[in-house]
């Protein structure tokens, strides 16, 4: 068995276990003790060497779901089975012949769980397995690797439900599919610097939920509900990977370090990324539509002031001058088919010649051309341009056979799909050759034309895709690692045919897609609005392989402190982006009706972004290629509150001074501190030798920090 991320020699050693006085089974490793219930194998307790409990009692060891031939689910929990144990091998037997095994072992303070499910009843398929089940106290904060990194404190923000084939996309529910909306396959819960880390050590990145269930409010169950499509010939599920639980000291950064250490062992992360030269110039994106008035749906999509495309050149020149920067014009509603009508986008609205004039004018100045696309969905009818319809072709060519299906053969799509949305259509199955071929051919038209960057996988959150159960497709009828491999293969084909065009996705790329999608539109807003606060988890783990941009805010923000937002982006290591309205002024984001007006204080914001981008260009070994690290200086400033208005309104707790710390390939270190307020702010710095220094940062000042 291939074991990654820990000492395999130790792992194979005999596990120490014993009965505890309280009818628990104890596993000891290092100074840590894991206790499982002798009655049913559920995880009861994890006490670290520091003597502090990390968990609360779970009532079940696992749940699983079977599908019958009609796609009807049967959900079973461990208490539906008879439990027995032989040393570190736990077994649950069901009366219908179903047998679940869990090998439990330990090494170096880490506890490992390796499940298998055998004896699947005839006519049934194992859809997913959710175990071991791990519960924490709601007093703990949770690092949740969704939406680029979220620290969850509001556990009542949504009810839990297992993931599956979905008919509607509901961001508030934060569908937590990995690799996708969830970008990493671990969670960490901490309080007072004492944490517990729960992960799947799965180098094939099998689709799974990375999620939390608030249960009765007294305990939060962490779930890595895993899809079981990678079956053995006898129908059994015997994954090659395991789950792990470990105590650790620290909060979200220390947990991300554990995950990053594992990521560094993966083959795709052994190589240094190949970056286009323009990334070293840290171009600023100007995001705007060429049709409509700032809304992303509705039928009022007349060409606006940015069409013909060259009409945008005065804005490009203005912001290039104000920011002392190369510009990337990043277009929305440019597709000649209809806005938001994937997979077909070409030719551009108004024809190739019109866009070629703009491309050439940009390139003549050293600027860049980028486009938003809409991912791998299939459009039957545009809800924006009703003349655009592929219904006849779909019927004539029997294209329904290539679309994703649910367990009952149902066909739909869940993102931006509906009469009041952008389109009516389906999702393409990326394991079907016909779909992959159409997508590669369409993307090649963009790259051949000389487009520099395509946010091609917008609406493919994290660069992933959803769950296909089609029995008539060539893949297994249950989602599995095959689906991730299909997407990775597609992305590599796109890059091979891409003529140097860079590809990106919506949110930062999920773990297996990071090497293919190095520049994406970050989406920290849902973390802020629903669950707690955003933290730059993706940047902390992956920045040395990818460098994203501050995005378009996904239409979620109406009002917010712009300096806090963009300075946060700087500390995340992101490049910058701005959204323009029909006056060429900077607005809060896209989509947002232009009637909301421009950002107040936008002139001061330009001055700040010019300075921040100059720092980015001065320090590419840190801010483009470097690794985010934990603070090497203790930096403290007063707590502060930022208000926001958007899909929901509220506040976020922050500090008066923001900081970030970086390491480059030579092992050198640098830090930055910035005051986002319009008043002076004090920063107390405690050096490693105990020396304390207090610095006063002027309004909007940014400083470098050295060891
Ligand atoms: Zn399929």
pLDDT digits (tens, 9 = 90+) for 508-549: 999 999 999 999 999 888 888 889 999 999 999 999 999 999
Phi first, then psi: give them for residue 312, nearest 5 degrees. -80, -10
The alpha carbon of 468 and the centre of ligand 1 are apart by a number of angstroms equal to: 5
The alpha carbon of 539 and the centre of ligand 1 are apart by a number of angstroms equal to: 32
Nearest one of 358, 284, 237 to 569, comparing CA atoms: 284
Using CA atoms, how far apart are residues 448 and 601, in angstroms rounded to an integer? 40
pLDDT digits (tens, 9 = 90+) for 21-67: 458 999 999 999 999 999 999 999 999 999 999 999 999 999 999 99
The alpha carbon of 128 and the centre of ligand 1 are apart by a number of angstroms equal to: 17
The alpha carbon of 466 and the centre of ligand 1 are apart by a number of angstroms equal to: 10
Give Cα 448 distance to the centre of its chain.
Answer: 29
- Model confidence band, residue 419 (pLDDT cutoffs 50, 70, 90): confident
The alpha carbon of 403 and the centre of ligand 1 are apart by a number of angstroms equal to: 7
Cβ count near 103 (within 10 Å): 15
Using CA atoms, how far apart are residues 82 and 89, in angstroms rounded to an integer? 14
Q: What is the mean pLDDT of residues 453-467?
A: 96
DSSP β-ladder status, 284-289 and 82-86? unpaired
Task: State in Å, rounded, how far the first CA of the chain is from the last one.
Answer: 43
pLDDT of residue 158: 85
Using CA atoms, how far apart are residues 393 and 390, in angstroms rounded to an integer? 5
Determine which helix (DSSP H) or strand (DSSP E) holds 394, and give its type and residue range. helix 391-396
Determine which helix (DSSP H) or strand (DSSP E) holds 487, and give its type and residue range. helix 481-496
Q: Between the CA of residue 559 and those of 597, 648, 657, what are the distances in Å?
A: 11, 11, 21
Yes or no: say if 212 and 220 are a contact pair by the CB < 8 Å rule. yes
Residue 272: strand, helix, or coil: coil
The alpha carbon of 478 and the centre of ligand 1 are apart by a number of angstroms equal to: 9
The alpha carbon of 500 and the centre of ligand 1 are apart by a number of angstroms equal to: 30
* Exposure letters 274-294 (e unless 16+ CB within 10 A, then b): ebeebbebbbbbbbbbbbbbb
The alpha carbon of 511 and the centre of ligand 1 are apart by a number of angstroms equal to: 22
The alpha carbon of 307 and the centre of ligand 1 are apart by a number of angstroms equal to: 39
The alpha carbon of 455 and the centre of ligand 1 are apart by a number of angstroms equal to: 24
Query: What's the alpha-carbon Rg for the chain, to the nearest Å?
Result: 26
Phi first, then psi: give them for residue 430, nearest 5 degrees. -80, -5
CA dihedral sign of residues 560, 566, 567, 572: positive
CA dihedral sign of residues 598, 599, 604, 605: negative
Q: In the predicted model, is pLDDT for residue 234 greater than 90?
A: no
Yes or no: say if 309 and 286 are a contact pair by the CB < 8 Å rule. no
- Model confidence band, residue 172 (pLDDT cutoffs 50, 70, 90): low
Residues contacting 143, CB < 8 A, separation 6+ = 149, 150, 151, 152, 187, 188, 189, 190, 251, 252, 255, 256, 535, 537
**Proportion of the chain above pLDDT 70, given as a percent:** 96
pTM: 0.95
**Proportion of the chain above pLDDT 90, given as a percent:** 87
The alpha carbon of 473 and the centre of ligand 1 are apart by a number of angstroms equal to: 5
User: What is the per-residue DSSP string for 56-118?
Assistant: B--S-S-EEEEE-TT--EEEEEGGGSEEEEETTEEEEE-TTS-EEEEEEEEETTEEEEEEEEE
pLDDT of residue 174: 56
The alpha carbon of 428 and the centre of ligand 1 are apart by a number of angstroms equal to: 8
pLDDT of residue 420: 83
Using CA atoms, how far apart are residues 109 and 246, in angstroms rounded to an integer? 6
């Amino acid at each position: 068995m291939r074991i990654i991320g820990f000492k395999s020699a130790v792992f194979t050693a005999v596990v120490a276990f014993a009965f505890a006085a309280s009818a628990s089974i104890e596993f000891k490793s290092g100074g840590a003790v894991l206790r499982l219930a002798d009655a049913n194998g559920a995880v009861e307790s994890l006490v670290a060497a520091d003597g502090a409990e990390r968990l609360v009692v779970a009532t079940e060891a696992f749940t699983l779901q079977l599908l019958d031939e009609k796609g009807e689910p049967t959900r079973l929990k461990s208490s539906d089975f008879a439990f027995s144990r032989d040393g570190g091998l736990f077994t649950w037997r069901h009366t219908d012949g179903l047998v679940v095994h869990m090998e439990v072992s330990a090494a170096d303070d880490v506890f490992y769980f390796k499940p298998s499910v055998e004896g699947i009843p005839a006519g049934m398929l194992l859809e997913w397995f959710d175990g071991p089940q791990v519960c924490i106290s709601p007093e703990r904060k949770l690092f949740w690797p969704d939406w680029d990194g979220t620290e969850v404190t509001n556990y009542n923000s949504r009810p839990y439900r297992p993931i599956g084939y979905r008919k509607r996309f509901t961001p508030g529910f934060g569908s937590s599919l990995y690799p996708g909306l969830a970008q990493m396959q671990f969670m960490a819960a901490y309080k007072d610097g004492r944490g517990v880390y729960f992960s799947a050590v799965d180098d094939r990145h099998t689709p799974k939920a990375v999620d939390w269930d608030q249960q009765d409010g007294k305990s939060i169950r962490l779930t890595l509900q895993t899809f079981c499509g990678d079956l053995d010939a006898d129908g059994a599920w015997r994954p090659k990977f395991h789950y792990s639980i470990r105590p650790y000291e620290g909060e979200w950064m220390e947990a991300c370090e554990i995950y990053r250490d594992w990521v560094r062992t993966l083959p795709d992360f052994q190589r240094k990324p190949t970056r286009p030269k323009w990334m070293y110039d840290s171009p600023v994106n100007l995001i705007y539509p060429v049709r409509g008035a700032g809304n992303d749906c509705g039928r009022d999509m007349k060409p606006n002031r940015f069409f013909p495309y060259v009409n945008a050149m005065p804005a490009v020149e203005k912001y290039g001058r104000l920011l002392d920067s190369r510009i990337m014009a990043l277009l929305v509603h440019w597709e000649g088919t209809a806005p938001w009508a994937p997979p077909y986008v070409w030719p551009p609205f108004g024809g190739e010649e019109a866009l070629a004039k703009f491309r050439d004018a940009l390139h003549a100045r050293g600027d860049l051309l980028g486009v938003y696309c809409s991912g791998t969905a299939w459009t039957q009818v545009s809800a924006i341009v009703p003349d655009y319809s592929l219904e006849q072709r779909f019927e004539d060519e029997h294209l329904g056979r290539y679309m994703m299906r649910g367990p009952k053969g149902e066909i739909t799509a869940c993102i931006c799909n509906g009469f009041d949305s952008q389109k009516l259509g389906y999702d393409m199955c990326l394991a079907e050759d016909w779909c992959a071929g159409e997508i590669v051919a369409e993307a090649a038209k963009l790259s051949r034309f000389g487009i520099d960057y395509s946010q091609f996988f917008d609406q493919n959150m994290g660069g992933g895709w959803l769950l296909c159960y089609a029995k008539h497709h060539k893949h297994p009828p249950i989602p599995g690692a095959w689906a991730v491999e299909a997407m990775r293969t597609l992305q590599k084909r796109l890059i091979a045919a891409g003529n140097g065009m860079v590809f990106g996705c919506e949110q930062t790329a999920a773990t297996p897609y990071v090497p293919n999608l190095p520049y994406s539109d970050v989406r920290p807003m849902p973390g802020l609005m629903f669950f707690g606060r955003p933290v730059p988890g993706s940047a902390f783990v992956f920045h040395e392989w990818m460098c994203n941009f501050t995005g378009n805010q996904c239409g979620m923000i109406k009002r917010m402190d712009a300096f806090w937002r963009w300075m946060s982006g700087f500390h995340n290591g992101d490049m910058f982006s701005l959204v323009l309205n029909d006056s060429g002024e900077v607005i809060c984001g896209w989509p947002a009706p232009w009637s909301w007006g421009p950002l107040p204080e936008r002139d001061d914001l330009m001055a700040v972004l010019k300075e921040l981008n100059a720092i980015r260009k001065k320090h590419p070994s840190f801010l483009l290629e470097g690794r985010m690290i934990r603070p090497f200086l203790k930096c403290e400033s007063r707590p502060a509150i930022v208000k926001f208005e958007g899909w929901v309104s509220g506040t976020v707790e922050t500090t008066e001074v923001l900081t970030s710390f970086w390491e480059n390939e030579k092992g050198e270190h640098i830090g930055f501190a910035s005051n986002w307020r319009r008043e002076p702010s004090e920063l107390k710095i405690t050096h490693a030798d105990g020396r304390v220094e207090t610095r006063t940062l002027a309004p909007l000042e940014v400083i470098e920090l050295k060891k």
